[in-house]
Structure 1
Amino acid sequence: MAKTIVVLGGRLNVLEGARDAGVNVVLVHMPGRYDPVAEELCEEIVHLDFTDVDAVAEEVRRQQSRRQIHRIVSLTETGLLPAAILNDRFGLGGNPLAAVRRLVDKNAMRACLDDVGLSPVRYRVVSQLEDAVGFFREGPDGIVLKPPCGAASRDVHLIRTLDELRSAWRRLPHGGSLPVLAEELLTGTEISVESFSTRGRHVLMATSQKVLNDALVEVGHTMPATLTDEQLDQVASVTYRFLDAVGLHEGPAHTELMLTAAGPRVIESHNRIGGGKMSELVQHAYGVDLARLAVSVPLGVEDGPEYSPPVRGGAAIRFFTPEPGVVVDVTGTDAFDAAADLELDMPLRPGDEVTEIRDSFDRIFGSVMAWGADPRLAVERCQEVLHHITISTKSLTESGSRDVVV
């Protein structure tokens, strides 16, 4: 008999993965916030705020009166902790609640790393501007301010001067009245690692190199990352030891690392697949469907991976970053309608408003994903598209318009 899971929020990839694994899905999501295709992939869709744990618990009880529920699953950031709480409450297994809490709370994550002497990073929770100024003055290169439980680069501030610190403090949520995490500014090459764990055994599945804008938002990924064999071994070792330390033992993890002169340093991690179409990039570069594994392996439908998959090619994604304003015209997209080696997403139309990209939720102005024999070719294909497509915007404060090639 097919097993049934309750999925909290998220994209189609987890629903498609469940279908491919022969697993039935009850989707809990907000009305109008999911792709209509989801209706074809689910046994039932329940309209609820999936972050409301008590409301979802009532729904799980209702479902259990009709069928066996084998697991609560979420691959979306805001659903990770609710899923862990509900699995713990109903005794359905999954990652330990304490492990998920350590990943959600970056201060707890840093404390955990300190306890095991891994990936040393100077940090402090600060509640007053004066505390942040003191922390800033202790280091030579600058600091980063971030919410302890934030994600998607939201409200993350790169600070190199005291003036930048004072300005950023005023822009913090609640006017800086809540504690924030201050960390030393790590320098080097930033990468991310997709891993998969089965009964506490971790396997590195993919690496990607990041492209960041001035707000530290990821506006591109290149897969696999350019690493020496020694660097790859160091990255795998730090990632595995980190996942052991926090207590993660099943499913995907997305871990962000800075390759510093002193070795890899953990920036943060999440018990999910990376965003920004990371799942699709992994499929093109490594031939692995992480979303399917995230459903099938914990349920025992299929075995978890024993070894890192070989690289099959290269893949890259670049997000469009138009000049803020009102869209006047978008040209050049038709040149790529028949392209077999890329996927172009261009939702902008005349009259749409473009804002600055301050966090990952702002990456709504289109993207191009390309693949090829190696990552260099994939990047070149993305760049070709970016240079060919013109997005003309008109500033909200100006009467004229300007063409912006992105």
Structure 2
Amino acid sequence: MNGRLLLLIESNTTGTGRQFAQRAAAAGIEPVLLSADPGRYPYAAEDGLRTVTVDTADPAALWSAVRELAEAAEIAGVLSSSEYFVATAAEVAARLGLPGPAADAVRACRNKTAQRRLLAGAGVPVPGFTEVGEVAEAVDAAARLGLPVVVKPVQGSGSVGVRLCASLGEVADHAGTLLAATVNERGLAAPTRILVESYLTGREFSVEVVGHEAVVTVAKHVGPPPVFVETGHDLPAALLARRRDALTACAVAAVRALGLGWGAAHVELRLDGDTPRVIEVNPRLAGGMIPELVRRACGIDLVTAQVRAAAGLPVTLERDRDAGASIRFLTVETAGTLGPADAVEEALVRAREVPEVVDAVLYRAPETPVGPAEDFRGRLGHVITAGSSTAAAARAAEEALTRLAGALRPPAEPSTVQPPAPTDTAPDHKDRKDRMDRMDRMDRMDRQEIV
């Protein structure tokens, strides 16, 4: 046998995929990426990551590749940072007798209708919902639930295909589009069912859970309707203690109700008055660079924890700092282009000059056409900040994002995003001065130890 291997079945295209491989190597375990198209992940070639090309959607072909690897080395663990392959990774880990979540629980969790039924049956609050397979059924469901409604695929990630519909005509149009799709954005077969659910207008949060322990609550920024593009995160969320406690209790109850409890879960919720309602539970680490924000603000490395858990190694979640961290994603509201190389570089330099900035990056090449984001794939870049408080980090992220937007031609403000206020009001997408005023109030609350 030659060393120990951590098998990574596919990856997310942004976020923690690269970090999974890096943390495995740091633990003395060789990461191996199994993928139908390793070239989909540029970091694999850039980092010299060992890859195996295999049809990961074909269980027999995948198992054959795994057995071949197992004949030459010890398999220490199996993971996936891709929403679409977490159940596959759990199944392979179980066949090998390795640690991991219950595959059946992960599979049920990934179906949004099955998930909501399990949660509602356990008394965990969720939005009103109906699963449908025909356009007429979607229209009827929307009429029963009351407009506006959210229409979305029963499986998916990154807000792909999720849309707020304000009229029955919009419901029919979007339902027709979703039901006509035969494959999703990963080229995998798309379910022929969709979900129609009540629209909740309260503030949106996520709770990052490991096992049955809530690690941190995150304030989420979502762009303007009708789409639901996540445009930023702040943590720890500035919240009154009773609301924070209600969110974390609801998130842990959801994880238990779904039969999860191994490793990480990313629970998305909205406050409906004083009642948290679960939007969805993802049986995996959060995307959107949230694990990196947790590491910066709390000193807890969720990626390392997940890798070590998969390999059967001891895991620690001890917090070693009490700071704040934020991320803002660059999006635009109208079509345009990124500027020439010198303008792009200048914008990056200026963004990185903000004292609290720890990362600033653009995902597109100079002079690339850009347009409004419909889902996570429309985000153009990001800035990450770490500060003495949540408000300080958020303020710095706003400033750095404005500087990064200088890469656009003509120069423009990034899409307006309303940071969370210290109350339960919904985002109203006002101007930059209003956003900064709200963050000043958050900062005062931090200093007064109200949150």
Q: TM-score, normalised by structure 1?
A: 0.88
Amino acid of the residue matched to residue 371 of structure 2?
T
Amino acid of the residue matched to residue 356 of structure 1?
P
In the aligned structure 2, how far is the partner of 1:284 from the partner of 1:295? Answer: 18
1:386 counterpart (393, 401, 407): 401
Q: CA deviation at 1:164?
A: 2.3
Is 2:263 the counterpart of 1:251?
Answer: yes
Is 2:38 the counterpart of 1:31?
Answer: yes
In the aligned structure 1, how far is the partner of 2:374 from the partner of 2:47? Answer: 34
What CA RMSD, in Å, does the superposition of the two structures yield over aligned residues?
2.4
In the aligned structure 1, how far is the partner of 2:395 from the partner of 2:198? Answer: 34
In the aligned structure 2, how far is the partner of 1:48 from the partner of 1:169? Answer: 34
- The number of equivalent residue pairs is 390
* Structure 1 residue ranges without an equivalent (≥5): 394-401
Aligned twin of 2:233: 221
In the aligned structure 2, how far is the partner of 1:275 from the partner of 1:141? Answer: 30
Q: CA deviation at 1:40?
A: 5.0
Amino acid of the residue matched to residue 327 of structure 1?
L
1:21 counterpart (22, 27, 30): 27
In the aligned structure 2, how far is the partner of 1:116 from the partner of 1:294? Answer: 27
In the aligned structure 2, how far is the partner of 1:233 from the partner of 1:250? Answer: 22
Contact 1:51 1:78 in 2 (8 A): no
Is 2:173 the counterpart of 1:167?
Answer: yes
Contact 2:338 2:369 in 1 (8 A): yes
Contact 1:125 1:180 in 2 (8 A): yes
Aligned twin of 1:325: 336
Aligned twin of 1:396: none
Is 2:112 the counterpart of 1:106?
Answer: yes
Secondary structure of the corresponding residue to residue 314 of structure 2: coil
Aligned twin of 2:288: 276
Secondary structure of the corresponding residue to residue 374 of structure 2: coil
Higher strand proportion, which one? 1
Aligned twin of 2:381: 366
1:186 counterpart (184, 200, 212): 200
Equivalent residues in 2 for 1:35-184, closer than 5 Å:
35-36=42-43, 42=49, 44-174=50-180, 178-184=192-198
Contact 1:25 1:41 in 2 (8 A): no
Q: Which moves more between the two structures, 293-302 or 56-65?
A: 293-302
In the aligned structure 2, how far is the partner of 1:129 from the partner of 1:107? Answer: 17
1:404 counterpart (412, 428, 432): 412
In the aligned structure 2, how far is the partner of 1:265 from the partner of 1:91? Answer: 36
Per-residue CA deviation, residues 222-251 of structure 1 (Å, 9 max, x unaligned), is 111122211122122111111111111211
Q: TM-score, normalised by structure 2?
A: 0.80
Higher helix proportion, which one? 2
Contact 1:112 1:246 in 2 (8 A): yes
Taking only the aligned residue pairs, the percentage that are identical comes to 28
Contact 1:95 1:249 in 2 (8 A): yes
Q: CA deviation at 1:262?
A: 4.8
- Cα 1:66–1:392 shift into 2, 3 Å: closer
Amino acid of the residue matched to residue 24 of structure 1?
E
In the aligned structure 2, how far is the partner of 1:41 from the partner of 1:350? Answer: 26
Q: CA deviation at 1:139?
A: 3.1
In the aligned structure 2, how far is the partner of 1:5 from the partner of 1:392? Answer: 40
In the aligned structure 1, how far is the partner of 2:99 from the partner of 2:323? Answer: 36
Per-residue CA deviation, residues 123-151 of structure 1 (Å, 9 max, x unaligned), is 11112222222222223452111111111
Aligned twin of 1:399: none
Aligned twin of 1:375: 390
